[in-house]
Structure 1
Amino acid sequence: MPDLSHSRNSCFHCGLTATGASACSGEVAGEMQLFCCSGCLEVCRVIHEAGLEGFYSRVQKQEAAMAPPPDLPADIDQYELDEVQQDFITRLADGSCQANLMVEGIHCPACTWLIEKALAGMDGVMLAEVNLVHHRLFVRWHSEKLLISDIMRRLAALGYAAIPFNLESVEGVLKEQNRKLLFRLGFAGFGAMNIMWISIALYAGAFSGISSEYRDFFHWVSCAIATPVLLYSGGPILLAGWRGLVRLRPGMDLPVAIGAVTTYGYSLLQTLQQGEHVYFDTVVSFLFVILIGRYLEAIARRNASSATLRLLELQPRLATRLTEDGEERVAVRKLVAGDLLRIRPGDKIAADGVVEEGSSHIDEAMLTGESRPVHKYAGCRLAAGTVNGEGALVMRVEQAGADTVLARIIHLVESAQGTKARVQQLADRIVPWFVTATLLLAAATFLYWWGEDSGKALLAATAVLIITCPCALGLATPMAIAVSTGVAAKNGVLVRNGEALERLSAVTHVVLDKTGTLTEGRMRVTEVRGEAGRETVLQAAAAVERHFSHPLALAICATVEAEGLAFPVCHQPVLLPGLGVGGMPAGGEGQIWVGNLRLMERQGVMIDASMRAAAEAIESTMAAAVFVAQGEQLLGLLRVEDRLREGAVELIRTLAQRGVGMTLLTGDSVAAANHLKQALMGPEDVRMEVVAGVLPEEKARKVAALQQQGEHVLMAGDGVNDAPALALADISMAMGNGTDVSMECSDIVLMGSDLQKVPWAIALGRQTLKTVRQNLALSLLYNLMLVPAAMAAMVTPVFAALAMPVSSLLVIGNAVLIRRHMQRQ
């Protein structure tokens, strides 16, 4: 049952005062309740009928502000038209549809919970995810069971208004918000300019003996100017303060609202009583200054956390599709897998795919953070949002829309900016108590100075109310996280959440996987041995490996394809982590096994001394020895080579210089591991533990052992074998060219091949936490210095109004400096 009101005259749903013509009552869960409007009544009934009354306990637990349902979008039926749906709905190959919606009325995590639970209960909805920061809903549904209008009506019944999301709508909302704020600022500025002339006349008259008639006249003129400024320019502040007061959940606007109303009320009373001192000019002036600060703050916050918008702008809107009749310009949302696109010089690439014809250099800086263009030719992969260089290309689409790498990056950045680190959760709990303390201090100040001078008491109390606004405290952490995730994305480092940045700062030990992390992961077969013959060995291995996507499998299949050999049919493929793979050939003559020496011994395959010696020689040079057998008969031995990534040696040295411990894990033999260790460490004395022959579960146990020793472990890997260790580590990092499993298990994803991004990411985490602490210290220092001055009547309300936004801008500016600090890394 909701308990949001704390008053018998409050709305049962949202907690606002339920009086006036719009108020109504209705039966909910067998009891009559009071509501501020019919909208709240219907929403409350829908929530209870759906069995989602737990929403109210979540709202109460999180102390979130609510409001009556917003006005619902007109003509929902229009979204059932195909020509309208083409603009925002993506139709997938399996017959399902997906769309992004902007949702008005979301206030807190409880709203997120309610929307996701309610939509998940609809027959046909496959997935519903809400982004709290951007008020955005991603939904996927079966088009045969459900219409988008049904989803929008369900949201409307819950009290949320949804419209299709696109970049123009995002920019339009931001522009509209800034436009309204600018209008209120301009109106307050006009009022401040005019009321200042009245104040000059009053102050001059005080020294020259102005008559009471003229003084009262000027007071009424000042009141006529201040009243619309208070109601229009200060309206949102007053409304937000009132809502917080009614719910007994004081917010950041309440002290300012009380200060404005109190000063205005005192001045109005003095005017009615024909008193000598009024402070209408103070009300108008500090509202004007506060609005200036909020406008500058809004611009600064948008610029600081605009990483998502910049990424959205990378998505082209049109593409040139090749058809049997020639070329046609189509919207990117209409692209499907298999389409052929022409990419002209300078064009942005519209989807993920493969080059079919031509060659060119591609600028992938937005994806990997590496400024050097990459040469692409037939067979190379292209990513959406990257920019074509000097050559013309023809590409085949493999993923489009929300399935592209760019779309995944945008989703990760949005998710990261919408999360809260532990230090932010602490700040959120402090803010309500901070506001309450502000009100008590203002009351104490007023009472202290009342006996000496009532006007002085009012101004001093108002200054306390304004100057102690905890905006800077509330911005300290989210601004640092927003800037850091944006900087990281720009440099090809994707951070999943703010807590990952906090954990990065504490890393003391890095665990590195070999294949695909320290090495390129692009293996190639360089030698084939065996009495069965080269073609037989390769085909037998490829028959099984074609069912898998690990680096060894790709190398073997690429060799078979390059030599023009056929791929035999194989059934029942099986993966044995850390050992190899197996499968049953079509003829059923015996199971084919492809893997290391341990797999062969487990399957009873006879291997003579010469083959064992050959395998040892191969692995002593950092190559992989892959045995191929059928049944218990050995067919042959493959030598598969990989190369160290460029910068692997520099990575080891950088981590050693920064005092970070290192452990290298590999499934290779001890000889191969020692060879790799010498290649990485060189002549320098670098401390690094190398563990050879590890299975997936052993990798996870090694991570756990390091944690038990008090180490804060970062695990970097790229394969399925790394997933258990990645999930167990304090902070996990996956290479962007790795498997989906490793990327799903990871807190950080490196989109490029630059291994120096590993220590760079650690430095970013440390700089982020340092900035958060600096911001919190700035906020507290600001209050410790100026609050006592305001209580001592040494600060005017106008100066307080100037100081308050300055503190927020300092916090934002300090967060922006993260960009400069990371450029030096």
Structure 2
Amino acid sequence: MAQCYHCGQEIKPSERIDRNIKGTERGFCCHGCASVCEVIHDSGLESFYKLSPDTQRPVAPAPELIKGSEFFDYDEVQSQYVKELSDQRQITLMSDSIHCAACIWLIEHSLAKIQGITYANVNFTNKQIKLRWDNRKIKLSEILKQLNQIGYDARPYDAEESEKAYKKANRDLLYRMGFAGFALMNAMWFSVALYTGARDDGEYTGYFYFMLFLIASVTLIYSAQPFFKGAWQNIKARSPGMDSSIALGLLVTYFYSVYAMLTPEQGGQPFFATIIDLTFLLLVGRYLEAISKNKALDATKRLMDLQPKMARKWQEGQEQIVPVRLLKVGERVMVKPGDKLPVDGRVVEGEGNVNESMLSGESREVFKQPGLVVSAGTINLDGSLLIEVENTLENTRLGRIIHLVEDAQGSKATIQCTAEKIMPWFVTATITLAVIAFVFWFFQAGIEVAIMAGTAVLIITCPCALGLATPMAMAVAAGVSARNGILVKNGVVLEMLNEIDHFVFDKTGTLTKGQMKWVDQQWLEGFDQQAWLTKLAYIEQKSEHSLARAIVDGVELRQPNWRQQSCSIQNFKAEPGRGVSAQCGGQLIRIGTAAWLKQFDIVLSDELQLFEQQQAELGRTGVWLATDQQAIAVLTIEDELRDDARLLIEKLQARGKQITLLSGDRYSVARAVAAQLGDIDVIAEVLPEDKADVIAKLQQQGKKVAMVGDGVNDAPALSRAHVGFALGGGTDVSMDSADIVLLHNQLIAIDTALDLSQRTLKTVKENIALSIGYNVTMVPLAMAAMLTPLMASITMPLSGLVVILNAMRIRSFYADRIKNRK
């Protein structure tokens, strides 16, 4: 079947629309795609249809073509980059022009003034701009043009395009650095000649200086272009940046050298060789910094590599290789042995073992058969599986994890926001100090010393080291923790986690395994248990609660043939934290807690109440069955503690943390569970909607509270807490509400997260101390004319590299932790 030339979707023969595009007949699935395609070509943006060989996805136009960016306003185009096409939209842009910390302040400050933009966040580490805007007030093309006006060419972010842009930028930087190195080697010959006596021979001096002038001029025009381009952006935006001081230093030295060459009678000395040396060394530093930064952030790239780009689509018994992005929900894909699963879905045919270690953290194989769920990125070890597609690309579980890691790496801690605000003032102060040094030495030792001192001050200062201090540490920590099963959704959490003094744990499914088991029962005499077990199972199978599943499993064990008996269930109703009710055979049946049944004046016999009390002391939960205003039975459900629950509580108490168990169970049940864990507080018989209020009351007492949960009913409490932990095996709602997701369902990972928080904050403080210490030490030396510009060009990039390398030490956090355990 033919595919739409614009969006790639399949075209039904009856709906095909043909248009003549630049002399070629093209087929489209709708008039919208056809119109958008015409606009793109009329704007001269045919490069949009250059397809990637791996994904067959259109490549976004190059930055210089953004002038005709109106086509980005079409919903058909935005649908590739915007998740929800509503009035309030969100997109991630990428800009190769972001190169220093001052850029962050400038972009965010400029976008904040534009009406219609509700959120703007710049990620210095991966050069991304996250935007939220009101599409009714401003169009995306207008935002792109505003960014262009302040010197930043931006385009919608695409993972593959981002990687290509990174490689292209590094290759361009490498070429400029190589040319500067070649120029340096050639200039060295003339410099050696001048230093060995040619300067004293007027016949050759002018010739050698002229050759150095030519080499230095070409080097400035080509190799130093990134610095001048950045400085021009700063001038247009009226905000000084790091490139402003570097460009000023190079230009002052260059024009003085030209003046000295043209007026030899003044006795001045040109510094053309110094200019070439400076350019080469500054480019070396920038290149090494880019490489180091990329290595520090490679965790996200590794996660992205786990998701296949192509899939074996299975249609009418035929296998077709297609890009994953073209798959639709409900279609089927074939996954052969050794293949990575390309989608989230459900097994339709086939059996086999799947390696899910990248999601579960467990190295053991998981057997899959029809009806079971599989996840994208996991590996099919043996057997062929036919999968029905449920989610693709960013909607898969792996896709959501990648998205959350990227958000975490781009989020900002309070200390980082402060650093960004002072960045423009930092650069302004640098230029002011350079002018002061120049004026002072001009009157004290002459123009040459003044230029060298002023240039050294301009180059020696490094705002990037201060700007990188926090984001690099946060980004590395978020990446390495995700690879090890701890998904930190916001870098700010790592800062807040260090202040937490009170941990609140949900009981069922969090401290316990959530694998409920029906262990005992007590019935009133005169009731047919077999008949009631059938009714019980039919009602509870309509509920998603873990207690309901345990009851259905218990009925299966006690009465395997219960499905052979019919039972019509009507008016089913579930009340979270209380119970369920339904009509069966004309009878109104209620299944739930004793307190809930009392609200309906249902009689609870002393015999059944005594039985429930005895079971509660064993840590078992009682579920009551009632009809005709009388309770007829109590079923008791038991849940085991997680293997690492007690160990975690001990470690938290050793840290001086206060622990509270929060449960909707009876107090006696919750107390029995708490007794197995040690001396912890218990707050029981709390309804789901009241859990957030408990967190709020603790916060009102001045406590920094962390909540740990796994269910839908924990979501409000997770959102209310200063830090919310959710288990990866819990519900999507709880994971969306939490700040940290424990992908491997290991509670002990909370203790690991606390250590990671301490390690990260320690690294941030070290980085800030290093950057401030560097500037405080080096700037006075440069002002005192004790450092040459050449020495400054060596030490300046080294300061940024030291900060990056120090942040990269966090990558060894887990390896160090394992060694310490041994």
TM-score by length of 2: 0.80
1:627 counterpart SS class: strand
2:66 aligned counterpart, secondary structure = coil
Residue by residue, what CA displacement relative to the aligned partner does 1:60-116 show, whole Å, maximum 9, x if unpaired?
xxxxxxxx995238799899999x999x58999x999x9987566997346777999
Once residues 83 and 691 of structure 2 are traced to their aligned partners in structure 1, the CA distance between those partners, rounded to angstroms, is: 41
1:486 Cα deviation (Å)? 0.2
Distance in 2, matches of 1:241 and 1:129, equals 23
SS at the partner of 1:645?
coil
Contact 1:370-1:491 within 8 A present in 2 as well = no
Cα 1:739–1:413, aligned 2, differ >3 Å: closer, same or farther? same
- Judged with a 3 Å threshold, the aligned counterparts in structure 2 of structure 1 residues 155 and 438 are, in CA distance, closer, same or farther, namely closer
Q: Which residue of 2 aligns with 1:213?
A: 203
Q: In structure 1, what residue type is equivalent to 2:483? A: K
C-alpha displacement of 1:731: 0.9
For residues 547-566 of structure 1, what are the structure 2 equivalents within 5 Å? 548-557=543-552, 563=560, 565=563
Matches of residues 797-812 of structure 1 in structure 2 within 5 Å?
Answer: 797-812=789-804
Structure 1 partner of 2:21: none
- Correspondence for 2:234: 244
Letter of the structure 2 residue corresponding to residue 667 of structure 1: G
Residue 171 to residue 187, structure 1, CA distance change in 2 (3 Å): same
What whole-Å deviation, never above 9, does each CA across 1:768-813 have from its counterpart, x for those lacking one? 1111111000101111222222122221111111111111111111
Question: Aligned-pair distance for 1:397?
Answer: 3.1
Candidates 373, 380, 387, aligned match of 1:388: 380
Tell me the residue number matched to 1:764.
756
Corresponding pairs, count: 730
Inter-partner Cα distance in structure 2 for 1:91 and 1:510: 35
**Distance (Å, rounded) in 1 between the aligned partners of 2:122 and 2:341:** 27
Summarize the Cα distance change of 1:722–1:809 in structure 2 as closer, same or farther, 3 Å threshold: same
Where do 1:429-578 residues align within 5 Å?
429-450=421-442, 451-527=444-520, 530=523, 532-534=527-529, 536-538=531-533, 540-541=535-536, 545-546=540-541, 548-557=543-552, 563=560, 565=563, 568-571=568-571, 573-575=573-575, 577-578=576-577
The answer to whether the 8 A contact 1:493-1:751 is kept is yes
Corresponding residue number in structure 1 for 2:160: 168
Q: Deviations over 1:168-225 (max 9, x none)?
A: 322211111111111111111111111121111111126xx62223112211111111
Q: 1:178 aligns with which of 167, 170, 173?
A: 170
Aligned to 2:406: 414
Specify which of 197, 215, 235 is matched with residue 225 of structure 2: 235
Q: 1:356 to 1:691 in 2, by over 3 A?
A: same
Cα deviation for residue 667 of structure 1 reads: 2.0
In 2: Cα distance, 1:240 partner to 1:619 partner: 70
Match of residue 715, structure 2, among 717, 723, 728? 723
Name the counterpart of 2:808: 816
Shift in CA distance, 483/587, structure 1 to aligned 2, threshold 3 Å: same
Q: CA deviation at 1:532?
A: 4.9
Task: Quickly say closer, same or farther: Cα 1:112–1:599, change in 2 above 3 A.
Answer: farther
Identity of aligned residues (%): 40
Q: Which residue of 1 aligns with 2:284?
A: 292
Q: Distance in 1 between matches of 2:132 and 2:342?
A: 22
C-alpha deviation, 1:164, in angstroms: 7.0
Where structure 1 has 5 or more consecutive residues not aligned to the other structure, the ranges are 1-67, 121-127, 682-686
User: Which residue is 2:190 aligned to?
Assistant: 198
C-alpha spacing 1:434/1:217, structure 2 compared with 1 (3 Å): same
Measured after TM superposition, the shift of residue 252 of structure 1 is 1.5
Secondary structure of 2:293's aligned partner: helix
> How far, CA to CA, are the matches of 2:610 and 2:303 in structure 1?
53
**2:568/2:585 contact within 8 Å kept:** no
Flag as ranges the 4+ runs of structure 1 deviating above 6 A. 73-82, 89-92, 98-101, 110-116, 128-131, 136-142, 150-164
Distance apart, 1:504 and its partner CA: 1.0
Whether 1:674 and 2:664 are equivalent positions in the alignment is no
- Return the alpha-carbon distance in structure 1 between the equivalents of residues 536 and 810 of structure 2: 51
Superposed displacement of residue 374, structure 1: 4.2
Tell me the CA shift for residue 282 of structure 1: 0.9
Paired AA for residue 233 in structure 2? R
What is the CA–CA distance in structure 1 between the aligned matches of 2:318 and 2:438, rounded to whole Å? 80
Cα distance in 2, alignment partners of residues 655 and 272 from structure 1: 74
Alpha-carbon distance in structure 1 between the residues aligned to 2:196 and 2:427: 38
> Which residue, 724, 729, 732 being the options, matches 2:724?
732
1:267 match:
257
Confirm or deny: 8 A CA contact 1:507 1:762 kept in the other structure: no
Deviations 1:33-69 (A, max 9, x none): xxxxxxxxxxxxxxxxxxxxxxxxxxxxxxxxxxx99
Sort the Cα spacing of 1:129 and 1:197 in 2 relative to 1 into closer, same or farther, 3 A: closer
Q: Measure how far apart 1:390 and its partner are.
A: 4.1
Distance 2:473 2:656 in 1: 26
Cα 1:820–1:137 shift into 2, 3 Å: closer
In structure 2, relative to structure 1, the CA distance for the partners of 1:470 and 1:139 (3 Å cut) is closer
Q: Offset at 1:136? A: 6.8
Deviation, 1:673, is: 2.2
Displacement of 1:295: 0.6
Q: Provide Cα deviations, 1:551-578, integer angstroms capped at 9, x if missing partner.
A: 2234345566884626743336242x43
Measured in 2, the distance between the counterparts of 1:115 and 1:793 equals 45
Q: Rate the CA distance shift 1:384–1:69 in 2: closer, same or farther, 3 A.
A: closer
- Counterpart position of 1:71: 65
- Name the residue aligned to 1:38: none
Contact 1:360/1:391, CA 8 A, preserved across alignment: yes
SS of aligned partner of 2:188: helix
Contact 1:116-1:129 within 8 A present in 2 as well: no
Amino acid at match of 2:583: P
Partner amino acid, structure 1, of 2:300: T
SS at match of 1:253: helix
- Asked if 1:345 is matched to 2:337, the reply is yes
Residue deviations 1:5-40, cap 9 Å, x none? xxxxxxxxxxxxxxxxxxxxxxxxxxxxxxxxxxxx
Give the AA of the match of 1:476.
A
Decide whether aligned partners of structure 1 residues 541 and 502 sit closer, same or farther in structure 2, where only a CA change above 3 A counts. Answer: farther
Q: Does the aligned pair in 1 maintain the 2:487–2:741 contact within 8 Å?
A: yes
**105-114 or 806-815, which moves further after superposition?**
105-114
Q: Trace 1:543-622 onto structure 2 (pairs within 5 A).
A: 545-546=540-541, 548-557=543-552, 563=560, 565=563, 568-571=568-571, 573-575=573-575, 577-582=576-581, 584-585=582-583, 589-590=587-588, 592-622=589-619
Find the aligned partners of 1:73 and 1:532 in 2 and give their Cα distance: 80
Q: How does 1:612-691 map to 2 (within 5 A)?
A: 612-630=609-627, 632-681=629-678, 687-691=679-683
Report if the CA contact (8 A) 1:550-1:719 is conserved.
Answer: no
Q: Equivalents in 2 of 1:801, 1:588: separation in Å?
A: 88
Cross-structure match for 1:404? 396
1:313 and 2:305 correspond:
yes
Distance across 2 between alignment mates of 1:354 and 1:140: 37
Distance change >3 Å, CA 622–CA 700, structure 1 → 2: same
The whole-number CA distance in structure 2 between the counterparts of 1:542 and 1:306 is 50
Query: Do the aligned partners of 1:492 and 1:750 also contact (CA within 8 Å) in 2?
Result: yes
Q: Would you say 1:364 and 2:356 are equivalent positions?
A: yes
Q: Which residue matches 1:777?
A: 769
Q: Aligned residue for 1:3?
A: none
Inter-partner Cα distance in structure 2 for 1:780 and 1:99: 36
- Please identify, of 328-337 and 306-315, the stretch whose mean Cα deviation from structure 2 is larger: 328-337
- Offset of 1:735 from its aligned partner? 1.2
Query: What RMSD, in angstroms, separates the aligned Cα atoms of the two structures?
Result: 3.8
| CA displacement at 1:525 relative to structure 2 | 3.6
